[in-house]
Amino acid sequence: MERLQRRVAREFGLSEDVGLQVMRNAEALLPGDPEVREISLYRKYNRCRDGPLQVGDAAPNVHLHRLDGTELKLHELMQGSRKLVVIAGSYT
């Protein structure tokens, strides 16, 4: 996404840094502008939110998918004395 945003900035004659800031902060720069809300894909599809988990909560036993296509559950990885770090996100 960042490479695409940088390319758009260059094509419209903006420095990459300025272009990224404008695209990523369009709604804050133009609050309530209906066109910004509709055309800004970064804003329109950014569905990030804080989840309900807090520090110290038990991890949910979610389904995971290995790179080879096999599945397992998170708690299977948490067995034993090894430390486990989970980094999760979405690229869609």
pLDDT tens, 19-45? 888 878 877 888 888 877 666 555 456
Radius of gyration of the chain (CA): 20
Model confidence, pTM? 0.41
Within 13 A of 42's CA, how many CA atoms are on the CB side? 14
Q: What is the model's pLDDT at position 21? A: 86
Domain boundaries, the chain: 2-44
Residue 48: is its pLDDT beyond 60?
no
Q: What is the pLDDT of residues 50-88, one digit of tens each?
A: 678 888 888 889 888 888 889 999 999 888 888 888 776
Asked whether 32 and 41 are in contact (CB, 8 A), the reply is no
